[in-house]
């Protein structure tokens, strides 16, 4: 079915040519009539002059009456017919003018037809060229080449189709690149998981073998082995749970249940969750939080994210220090600043601390290198941002911003 835009491409040039043809035909016809009148009048003038010369006594009014009188015209016609002149073709100049007129009309019609044919063929050629370009684009896409460019800004259907094709190729390219990245990340993740699990599983296997091979092992050593095995299993369980959470975020199956939340209540619960660690290292939490500060977030997930960040600050703090938690609230965003005064992060590590399974030089043996990565994923899921500033030997500051 021909689209309106396609019809415009054909009809408008054709209308222009038709109008031009009509104007030219009108001018030619008018010139023909003027020429006919000129020849006709010339011959009448010759007849009238001949009459005056042959019959000088003829009254001028009588001549005019003869020219205007239809009855006399009929008599003259009959007289000409009597001598074999059926029409006025005996006037050679009129015959010449007729032949010239016919020739001109034929040439005009031929020119008109050729012009219309040329316009249609030109339009078809342009459309075929665009179709060929689209076919070439598709062949390139099929071979995995997505570097297509759109330079035509016209509004016809084929150009719109090519523009849509370009958008599709962009999506395909992004999907292909994401797929390659995901495959690479999955491979790296599997290697990291294998490495993470290898040490505790080896340790568990050795200790279990010792328990089986030494039935007479003293009770204290046996309890130490069992306690170590329990911790290793707990560590593996925590790793698996964290990985499952990240996998759910990666697959997009996590749906945030965002509700208006009091920030002070949220941070108080974070501190309660870490009270044992705080007591062990005798760390004091200094809070600067507006009582009425609120933000629309998923309470459960943000509680986990903030707990991981504060826990990281505790683990890298010295004994008997403090950790500052400050909240800045505005109409645009809510900012949470967590500052510790511990060992800090080196320059080579600071750009990698949010990467999965990344461990700094100062990480503890039990660190999984996944807590901060999970926190970043959770915060960004809630339209938030997290950044870090640190200086070795001075401390570290985490800045979390939630857009309202």
Helices (H), 156-315: 157-213, 219-251, 263-273, 275-280, 299-315
pLDDT for 33-53, tens place per residue? 677 667 766 777 777 777 777
d(CA 336, CA 288): 10
Asked if residues 55 and 49 have their Cβ atoms less than 8 Å apart, the reply is no
pLDDT of residue 331: 86
Q: In this model, does residue 200 exceed pLDDT 60?
A: yes
Q: In this model, does residue 260 exceed pLDDT 90?
A: yes
Question: At 1, is the pLDDT very low, low, confident or very high (cuts 50, 70, 90)?
Answer: very low
Asked if residues 321 and 396 have their Cβ atoms less than 8 Å apart, the reply is no
Residues 210, 211, 214, 219, Cα dihedral to 10°? 120
Q: Where are the domains of the chain?
A: 4-142, 179-251, 259-403
More confident residue, 71 or 14: 14
SS3 of residue 156 by DSSP: coil
Q: Which of 310, 308, 303, 306 is nearest to 283 (CA)?
A: 310
Q: In this model, does residue 13 exceed pLDDT 60?
A: yes
Residues 125, 126, 131, 136, Cα dihedral to 10°? 100
Q: Tokens representing 100?
A: 């010239």
Q: Check: CATH 3.30.565.10 for 259-403?
A: yes
Residue 257: C-alpha distances to residues 300, 321, 334, 404 (Å): 9, 36, 19, 15
**How many C-beta atoms lie closer than 10 Å to residue 329's C-beta?**
17
d(CA 329, CA 326): 10
Architecture field, domain 179-251? Orthogonal Bundle (1.10)
Q: In this model, does residue 336 exceed pLDDT 90?
A: yes
Q: What are phi and psi of 65, to 5 degrees?
A: -60, -40
Q: What are phi and psi of 320, to 5 degrees?
A: 60, 35
d(CA 162, CA 154): 11
CA 393 from chain centre, in angstroms, equals: 47
Indicate the pTM of the whole model. Answer: 0.52
pLDDT for 126-168, tens place per residue? 777 777 777 777 777 666 665 655 555 455 565 666 667 667 7
Question: At 236, is the pLDDT very low, low, confident or very high (cuts 50, 70, 90)?
Answer: confident
Residue 126: C-alpha distances to residues 130, 132, 133, 158, 366 (Å): 6, 10, 11, 10, 69
Residue 322, strand partner residues: 284
pLDDT for 353-400, tens place per residue? 888 777 776 666 566 678 898 899 999 988 899 999 998 888 999 999
Q: Which of 399, 372, 364 is nearest to 281 (CA)?
A: 364
pLDDT of residue 90: 46
179-251 and 259-403: identical CATH topology: no
Asked if residues 370 and 357 have their Cβ atoms less than 8 Å apart, the reply is yes
Q: What are phi and psi of 296, to 5 degrees?
A: -90, 105
Burial class (CB in 10 A: 0-12, 13-18, 19+), 379: buried
pLDDT of residue 325: 95
d(CA 258, CA 314): 28
pLDDT for 72-119, tens place per residue? 555 555 655 555 555 544 455 556 666 777 677 777 777 777 777 787
Q: Tokens representing 258?
A: 């965002």
């Amino acid at each position: 079915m021909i689209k309106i835009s396609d019809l415009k491409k054909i009809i408008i040039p054709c209308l222009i040519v038709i109008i031009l043809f009509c104007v030219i035909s009108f001018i030619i016809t008018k010139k023909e009539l003027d020429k006919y009148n000129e020849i006709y009048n010339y011959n009448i003038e010759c007849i009238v002059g001949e009459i005056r010369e042959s019959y000088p006594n003829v009254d001028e009014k009588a001549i005019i009456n003869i020219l205007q009188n239809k009855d006399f015209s009929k008599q003259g016609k009959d007289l000409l017919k009597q001598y074999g002149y059926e029409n006025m073709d005996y006037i050679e100049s009129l015959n010449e003018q007729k032949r010239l007129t016919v020739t001109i009309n034929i040439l005009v019609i031929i020119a008109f037809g050729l012009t219309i044919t040329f316009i249609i063929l030109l339009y078809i050629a342009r459309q075929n060229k665009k179709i060929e370009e689209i076919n070439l684009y598709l062949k390139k896409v099929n071979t995995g080449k997505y570097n297509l460019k759109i330079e035509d800004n016209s509004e016809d259907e084929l150009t719109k189709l090519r523009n849509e094709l370009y958008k599709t190729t962009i999506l395909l390219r992004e999907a292909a690149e994401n797929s390659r990245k995901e495959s690479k990340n999955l491979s790296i993740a599997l290697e990291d998981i294998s490495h993470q699990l290898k040490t505790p599983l080896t340790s568990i296997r050795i200790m279990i073998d010792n328990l089986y091979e030494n039935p007479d092992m003293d009770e204290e050593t046996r309890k130490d082995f069992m306690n170590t095995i329990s911790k290793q299993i707990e560590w593996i369980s925590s790793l698996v749970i964290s990985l499952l959470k990240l996998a759910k975020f990666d697959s997009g199956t996590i749906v945030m249940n965002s509700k208006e939340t009091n920030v002070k209540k949220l941070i108080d619960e974070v501190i309660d969750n870490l009270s044992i660690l705080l007591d062990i290292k005798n760390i004091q939490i200094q809070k600067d939080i507006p009582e009425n500060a609120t933000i629309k977030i998923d309470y459960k997930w943000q509680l986990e994210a903030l707990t991981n960040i504060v826990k990281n600050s505790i683990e890298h703090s010295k004994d008997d220090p403090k950790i500052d938690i400050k909240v800045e609230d505005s109409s645009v965003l809510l900012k949470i600043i967590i500052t510790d005064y511990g060992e800090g992060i080196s320059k080579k590590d600071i750009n990698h601390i949010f990467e999965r399974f990344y461990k700094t030089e100062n990480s503890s043996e039990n660190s999984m290198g996944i807590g901060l990565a999970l926190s970043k994923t959770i915060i960004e899921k809630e339209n938030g941002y997290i950044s870090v500033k640190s200086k070795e030997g001075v401390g570290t500051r985490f800045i979390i911003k939630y857009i309202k």
